[in-house]
Amino acid sequence: MRNLISINELSKTYTGGFQALKDINLNIRDGEILALLGPNGAGKTTLISIICGIITPSAGSVYVDGYNIIKDFRITRSKIGLVPQELTTDSFESIWNTVTFSRGLFGKPSNPAHIEKVLKELSLWDKKDNKVMELSGGMKRRLLIAKALSHEPKILFLDEPTAGVDVKLRQDMWQLVGDLRKSGVTIILTTHYIEEAEEIADRVGVINKGEIVVVEEKTELMRKLGKKQLTLELFKKLEAIPKHLSPFNLELAREGSQLIYTYDTQAERTGITTLLGELHDASIKFKDLSTTQSSLEDIFVALVKDEQ
Amino acid sequence: MNLYAIKAIYKFEMSRTMRTLFQSVVSPVISTSLYFVVFGSAIGSRISEIEGISYGSFIVPGLIMLSLITQSLANASFGIYFPKFTGTIYELLSAPVSFIEIIMGYVGASATKSILLGLIILATAELFVPIRIAHPYWMMLFLVLTALTFSLFGFIIGIWADNFEKLQIIPLLIVTPLVFLGGSFYSISMLPPLWQKINLFNPVLYLISGFRWSFYEISDVSITLSLSMIMIFLGLCLATVWWIFKTGYQVKQ
């Protein structure tokens, strides 16, 4: 898959001296969904604001579809749609007018059929003549998406798209993102909801303190950094782990009634068979066992913690 | 040139005017009519003719300029300040538009609205006093140049302002006094000599003088000087706006 956006050595230092981005290098592939994860203030919004033209970079370059975002800003910006984090809308305008305005602003001739299609897809058609101020928070979020899609962009940036929305709307949003990807739109979303990235992203980038910590295929990331745990429910409580089991780095939990073994999924041998054999020899019996895999959230927390 | 964007901004701003029709058009017309009643009839009837023109007719160009300047400032400054205030400016900054196109949209709409208002006030004045326009093309030229220049100035104020107080401070504390001092209601020859000299530093004097000349062929300064001054002011505003967009002052971080 070819790279649609290339970010090279990108840095941003604000007037006050705060360095929001430090030498960011990142390639975003055509047609993918990339989730940028990071705690508040990590630099996610600064990064997408630079690509969209809202913030001027201090150093480095960004290319969109081979075009420089500063020199060829007309071409790059016309390919991008942005849904901002804040619900910033023209309260006194009608839904139809504000979406039509967005299309014109991005240099596209009037196309009522397209606006109608977008509004219908986002369940806003019935409200097209209402003023923006009459919409609920969730509807305003959908309106911002409609505005961003009004000029048929090739790339869509969603900055915290599900912040403060209910479960139903969040699922609708994920459905919409999936549909857009199918139609060939490349999607970059920033979020701090791990389950969002886990659910819909192809790749995950973790950004912390202005630096990219890791960018990896979601499944690969989970495979590489994910750990599995085997939990054994013991018949009899143990006061301490027998010395000959120390190479397994076992953990005693729930007042000695649970034995936890953490192992690497990528290792050639997980050591489970040997452990079970050793337990049998030591007459340590168990009534149940279960395995769990670390979620993207665990990986994210570990990565950010390591950085700190 | 992104013509669709210019059209979109222009239409958006004009529709804002239509939404606030009373505040935008009816209110200035009512206050101008009151000026005619108070200054033209009540006080004007006791003032002798100025260079052969009745006082009521004499103040018409000044009154139009007063509304034109204050409305141009208000329209353009609010037009660009409001997206900054609500945050919707993100869309403008992320759109494939150059600063020239943004200016053409906002300033064009603001100037259109002010010119229409000026013409409405002119028509209203016809109801109160006899008016003669000696040079209609010059009158339109002054009308358009003044509306454009002060819309640009208003745009600069809207960019500079980071709260509603700042948005009002220049129009209220600087521009309105300059308009009153600039001869809206009198010829500067009626002022004491010192004030006449001070007034020569007032740019609005040249606008009102030139505009009045296009009506009655009487002026405080020469028409060439009037035109030169407005062109200089226009040039200064254009240069400031160019600098704002080049540096991103108060718009882009």
The Cα–Cα gap between A23 and A12 comes to: 9
Is 70 exceeded by the pLDDT of residue A215? yes
Question: What is the residue-wise DSSP string for B161-198?
Answer: -SSHHHHHHHIIIIIHHHHHHTTSSS-GGGS-HHHHHH
Instruction: Quote the domain boundaries for residue B81.
Output: 3-42+53-247
Contact between B94 and A80 using a beta-carbon 8 Å cutoff? yes
Question: What is the residue-wise DSSP string for B84-132?
Answer: HHHSTHHHHHTSS--HHHHHHHHHHHHHHHHHHHHHHHHHHHHTTS---
- Model confidence at A112, pLDDT cuts 50, 70, 90, reads very high
B4 touches chain A (CB under 8 A): yes
How many independent structural domains does chain B possess? 1
User: What is A3-223's CATH topology?
Assistant: Rossmann fold (3.40.50)
**Which A-chain residues 44-83 have CB contacts (< 8 A) with chain B?**
52-56, 73-78, 80, 82
Residue B47 lies in a domain: no
Residue B101 lies in a domain: yes
A115, burial (CB in 10 Å: exposed 0-12, middle 13-18, buried 19+)? buried
Spatial CA neighbour of B178 closest among B188, B166, B163, B165: B188
pLDDT, average across residues B169-197: 82
Q: What percent of chain B has pLDDT over 70?
A: 96
pLDDT of residue A175: 83
Residue B253 lies in a domain: no
CA distance B110 to chain A (A): 18
Of A15, A87, A105, A158, which to mutate for an interface test with B (greatest number of B Cβ within 10 Å)? A105
Is 90 exceeded by the pLDDT of residue A153? yes
Residue B234 lies in a domain: yes
Per residue in A260-275, pLDDT tens?
998 876 677 778 888 8
Is 90 exceeded by the pLDDT of residue A82? yes
DSSP state at residue B49: P
Domain spans, chain A: 3-223, 227-307
CA distance B249 to chain A (A): 12
CA distance A50 to chain B (A): 9
B17 Cβ contact partners less than 8 Å away, ≥ 6 residues apart: B24, B25, B75, B109, B113
Per residue in B76-116, pLDDT tens?
998 889 888 888 888 888 999 988 899 899 999 999 999 99
User: What is A227-307's CATH topology?
Assistant: Alpha-Beta Plaits (3.30.70)
| Residue B114: C-alpha distances to residues A139, A276, B66 (Å) | 36, 87, 11
pLDDT of residue A307: 58
Is 60 exceeded by the pLDDT of residue A27? yes
B12 touches chain A (CB under 8 A): yes
Residue B162 lies in a domain: yes
Per residue in A244-253, pLDDT tens?
888 888 888 8
Q: Considering CB atoms only, which of B12, B96, B252 is closest to A106?
A: B96
DSSP state at residue A227: E
Is 60 exceeded by the pLDDT of residue A308? no
pLDDT, average across residues A300-307: 69
